[in-house]
Amino acid sequence: MNYEQAQIRADIIKALAHPVRLMIVQELKDKDMNFADINQVFEYDKSTISKHLTVLKNAGIVSSKKIGADVIYHIEMCCVNKFIDCIDSVLKQNIEKQQSCLM
């Protein structure tokens, strides 16, 4: 993997490296949602949520479709579950290491 290839991959990872965007992905994992429903999960300004969704869309992690007045968001990243599981395994390992240091 050269730098340019790493750069492209890093951009996709970066899109997931934010708590709000990670939660959005988690919400979309099992079902499509419209903007209003996603926005309602958070207490941020709707423009903030809209921009986070744009980041996810630009990375190819979600897609959007305008239907009448509202916009439906759909997950495109089929390996979300594996991705989250992988991160959780690192997290679990970190916690275990912390525990063992206390003894």
Partner DNA sequence: TGCAGTGTTGGCTAATTTGCCAACAAACAT
Partner DNA sequence: ATGTTTGTTGGCAAATTAGCCAACACTGCA
Residue type, 70: D
Residue ranges binding its own copies (CB under 8 A): 1, 3, 6-10, 12-14, 16-23, 26, 59-61, 76-79, 82-91, 93-94, 97
Comparison of 90 and 102: residue with beta carbon closer to its own copies: 90
Please give the residues from 60 up to 79 whose contact with DNA meets the rule CB under 7 A.
64, 66, 68-71
Distance CA 6, CA 18 (A): 19
Q: Most distant CA pair in the chain: distance in Å?
A: 60
Which neighbouring-strand residues pair with 62? Answer: 75
Distance CA 22, CA 103 (A): 33
Please give the residues from 5 up to 44 whose contact with DNA meets the rule CB under 7 A.
14, 17-18, 20, 34-36, 39, 44
Comparison of 1 and 103: residue with beta carbon closer to its own copies: 1
Please say whether the beta carbons of 9 and 56 come within 8 A: no
Footprint on this chain of DNA (rule: CB under 7 A): 14, 17-18, 20, 34-36, 39, 44-48, 50-55, 64, 66, 68-71
